[in-house]
């Protein structure tokens, strides 16, 4: 005879011995999969509809089941309710929990719901729905950050700064151009998430434990009810596939890398050595020891959180690598990294737009840095190119001029024509106009370049693309009722 505890299990029939109590506690996923409750309810209702169409449930039974499922969803939606779910004494996982609650509410009819389905397809479905909803929120968060960057870029106007290669000053660029570089990254991140949402949008329900449902279910019913595009094509794959979880975590990690690069630059630019940006006090902290300090805690924490995001994607790929088909209990371990990636990134995206808006750039310091140190040398060489000098030669002539100016302690524009003529006859009066700060900016007049007109166009294009960011359909079945 199975023990009392055992008889509450979803699989008690075959067993004579109870579970080792420590193993029993340790293997339960209810402690984290409680958050899938709304998805489990929605997927269960969709399954009930399919059972009804197949003649397994009457219309009245289906209605009663769905009502009870909704009532369970409502009963445990609050924070206190959630705590009850995760602390439930016997439920093994969220699927078991809902089954127990259904039986409590409507007796044997509750047990009928498990006809023709397996937890293997249920978890595959719930987790897809969860990830799809997270993606909607994350894309919105990314759009929020990108919009804040665009606002700053518009506010920056024609302000300039040095760009860097090898962390050495390279050429002057518009501050807006630099900010828009991060907008491009954010837009790519959003498209990676949208892509993931599109690829995951197939309904596993009807896949059974591995080989397909043992009832002739019309799979299009649950597919439609849950807002999926089509049923999954192969039951073995559908019950063992966690690519969507991996892709989600990888997209989160890539977004994290971009946020981390941004926050690293801000941290650097906020040092007194750079002095390019004033950290907003509302996002900084002081030192308990050194009274003068204003520390960039927010940027440092965001940079740190990126490590956590990378961790989740590594965890998932390590988990999946080498798993035989189809369902294995290892797959239960894919849930927590997904939750962690979602929580971490959502949290990051909540603070990032406000912080980005609050940044105050020191235009004077940036301009001073962009105006000295021969950052117009490329523009100078380009001037010679326009005079017919081959670029290699132009490079050399300007290089010689720079060396001479360096020795004299002046900028290129401060050399006289006579001095310049030592290095090339081609230098003329118009040279000085060709290497002003404005000219140096505007000579990069290509799509994607920092010329002022190009950046104005880029700003409009970025704003338009942010406004058009696709968001996956939310799980109507859940959010309509909520
Ligand atoms: N809690 C399980 C998971 O997250 C649900 C699926 C259980 N399936 C099974 N065959 N034991 O993976």
Tell me what pLDDT residue 3 has. Answer: 44
Give tens-digit pLDDT for 386-399.
999 999 999 999 99
Q: Are 276 and 267 in contact (CB under 8 A)?
A: no
Mean pLDDT score of the chain: 94
Please give all residues whose beta carbon lies within 6 A of any atom in ligand 1, as ranges.
Answer: 29, 93, 119-120, 123, 327, 329, 331-332, 335
Tell me what pLDDT residue 292 has. Answer: 83
Binning pLDDT at 50, 70 and 90, where does residue 14 land? Answer: confident
Give tens-digit pLDDT for 251-269.
999 999 999 999 999 999 9
Give tens-digit pLDDT for 333-362.
999 999 999 999 999 999 999 999 999 999
Tell me what pLDDT residue 474 has. Answer: 62
Give tens-digit pLDDT for 270-327.
999 999 999 998 998 887 888 888 889 999 999 999 999 999 999 999 999 999 999 9
pLDDT at 482 over 70: no
| For ligand 1, atom 12: residue with the closest CA | 332
Which DSSP state fits 115?
T
Cα-based torsion angle of the residue sequence 390, 396, 400, 401 in order, rounded to the nearest 10 degrees: 40
CA–CA distance from 300 to each of 19, 312, 337 (Å)? 46, 20, 22
Which residues are known to be catalytic?
166, 287
Q: How far is the CA of 91 from the centre of ligand 1 (A)?
A: 12
CATH code for residues 19-115? 1.10.275.10
Q: How far is the CA of 349 from the centre of ligand 1 (A)?
A: 32
| For ligand 1, atom 11: residue with the closest CA | 329
Binning pLDDT at 50, 70 and 90, where does residue 473 land? Answer: low
Report residue 409: phi and psi, to 5°.
75, 35
pLDDT at 182 over 50: yes
Least confident of 15-29, 318-332, 462-476: 462-476
Nearest to 383 by CA among 339, 451, 443, 467: 443
Q: Are 344 and 305 in contact (CB under 8 A)?
A: yes
Question: Nearest-5° angle of CA 89, CA 93, CA 94?
Answer: 105
pLDDT at 17 over 90: no
Predicted TM-score (pTM) of the model is 0.94
Tell me what pLDDT residue 481 has. Answer: 44
Our mutation pick for probing the ligand 1 site, out of 97, 98, 123, counting the most ligand atoms within 8 A of Cβ, is 123
pLDDT at 4 over 50: no
Query: Could you tell me which residue, 141 or 291, shows the higher pLDDT?
Result: 141
Q: Are 407 and 375 in contact (CB under 8 A)?
A: no
CATH code for residues 120-213+228-368+463-481? 1.20.200.10
Q: How far is the CA of 221 from the centre of ligand 1 (A)?
A: 24
Our mutation pick for probing the ligand 1 site, out of 14, 91, 119, counting the most ligand atoms within 8 A of Cβ, is 119
Q: How far is the CA of 329 from the centre of ligand 1 (A)?
A: 6
What average pLDDT does range 403-425 have in this prediction? 96
Q: Which two tokens stand for residue 141?
A: 């968060």
- Do domains 19-115 and 120-213+228-368+463-481 share one topology? The answer is no
Tell me what pLDDT residue 75 has. Answer: 97
Task: Assign 218 to helix, strand or coil.
Answer: coil
377-435: CATH, from 1.10.40.30, 1.10.1240.10, 3.90.650.10, 1.10.150.120: 1.10.40.30
Name, in order, each residue with C-beta under 8 angstroms of 12's C-beta and a sequence gap of 6 or more: 2, 6
Query: Could you tell me which residue, 207 or 290, shows the higher pLDDT?
Result: 207
CA–CA distance from 295 to each of 5, 239, 282, 290 (Å)? 55, 48, 11, 11
Query: Could you tell me which residue, 477 or 186, shows the higher pLDDT?
Result: 186
What average pLDDT does range 225-241 have in this prediction? 98
Q: Is 198 left (phi over 0), alpha (psi -120 to 50) or beta?
A: alpha
Q: Where are the domains of the chain?
A: 19-115, 120-213+228-368+463-481, 377-435
Nearest to 37 by CA among 81, 89, 90: 81
Q: How far is the CA of 332 from the centre of ligand 1 (A)?
A: 6
Q: Which atom of ligand 1 is nearest to the CA of 127?
A: 4
Q: Are 459 and 176 in contact (CB under 8 A)?
A: yes
Q: Which atom of ligand 1 is nearest to the CA of 94?
A: 1
* Rounded-to-integer distance, Cα 231 and Cα 202, Å: 5
Task: Assign 203 to helix, strand or coil.
Answer: strand
pLDDT at 33 over 50: yes
Binning pLDDT at 50, 70 and 90, where does residue 16 land? Answer: confident
Least confident of 183-192, 462-471, 472-481: 472-481
How many other CB atoms sit within 10 Å of the CB of residue 76? 22
Q: Which atom of ligand 1 is nearest to the CA of 93?
A: 1
Query: Which run of H or of E encompasses 7?
Result: helix 4-7
| For ligand 1, atom 10: residue with the closest CA | 120
Q: At what angle do helices 37-53 and 119-156 cross, to 10 degrees?
A: 130
Residue 165 forms beta bridges with which residues?
168
């Amino acid at each position: 005879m199975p023990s009392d505890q055992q008889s509450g299990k979803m699989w008690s029939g075959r067993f004579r011995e109870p579970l080792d109590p420590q193993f029993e506690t340790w293997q339960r996923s209810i402690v984290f999969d409680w958050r899938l409750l709304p998805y489990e309810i929605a997927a269960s209702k969709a399954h009930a509809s399919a059972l009804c169409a197949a003649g397994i449930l009457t219309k009245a039974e289906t209605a009663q089941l769905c009502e009870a499922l909704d009532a369970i969803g409502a009963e445990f939606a609050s924070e206190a309710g959630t705590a009850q779910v995760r602390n439930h004494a016997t439920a093994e996982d969220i699927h078991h929990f809902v089954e127990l609650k259904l039986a409590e509410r409507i007796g044997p009819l509750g047990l009928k719901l498990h006809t023709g389905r397996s937890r293997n397809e249920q978890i595959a479905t719930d987790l897809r729905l969860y990830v799809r909803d997270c993606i909607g929120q994350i894309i919105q968060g990314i759009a929020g950050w990108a919009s804040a960057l665009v606002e700053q870029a518009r506010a920056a106007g024609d302000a300039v700064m040095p760009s860097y290669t090898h962390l050495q000053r390279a050429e002057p660029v518009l501050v807006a151009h630099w900010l828009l570089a991060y907008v491009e990254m954010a837009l790519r991140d959003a498209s990676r998430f949208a892509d993931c949402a599109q690829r995951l949008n197939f309904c596993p329900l009807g896949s059974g434990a591995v080989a397909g449902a043992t009832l002739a279910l019309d799979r299009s019913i649950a597919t439609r009810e849950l807002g999926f595009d089509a049923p999954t094509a192969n039951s073995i794959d559908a019950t063992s596939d966690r690519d969507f979880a991996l892709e989600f975590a990888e997209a989160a990690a890539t977004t994290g890398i971009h946020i981390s690069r941004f926050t690293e630059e801000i941290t650097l630019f906020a040092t007194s050595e750079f002095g390019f940006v004033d950290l907003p006090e509302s996002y900084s902290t002081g030192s308990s020891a050194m009274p003068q300090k204003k520390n960039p805690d927010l940027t440092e924490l965001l940079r740190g959180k990126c490590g956590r995001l990378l961790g989740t994607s590594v965890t998932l790929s390590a988990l999946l690598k080498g798993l035989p088909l189809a369902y294995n209990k290892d797959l239960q371990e894919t849930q927590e990294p997904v939750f962690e990636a979602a929580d971490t990134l959502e949290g990051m995206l909540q603070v990032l737009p406000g912080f980005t808006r609050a940044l105050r750039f020191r235009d004077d310091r940036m301009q001073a840095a962009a105006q000295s140190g021969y950052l117009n040398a490329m523009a100078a060489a380009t001037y010679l190119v326009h005079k017919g000098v081959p670029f290699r030669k132009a490079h050399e002539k300007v290089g010689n001029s720079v060396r001479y100016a360096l020795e004299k302690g002046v900028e290129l524009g401060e050399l006289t024509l006579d001095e310049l003529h030592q290095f090339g006859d081609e230098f003329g009066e118009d040279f000085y106009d060709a290497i002003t700060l404005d000219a140096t900016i505007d000579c990069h007049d290509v799509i994607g370049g920092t010329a002022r007109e190009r950046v104005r166009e880029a700003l409009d294009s970025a704003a338009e693309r942010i406004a058009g960011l696709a968001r996956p359909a939310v799980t109507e079945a859940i959010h309509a009722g909520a």
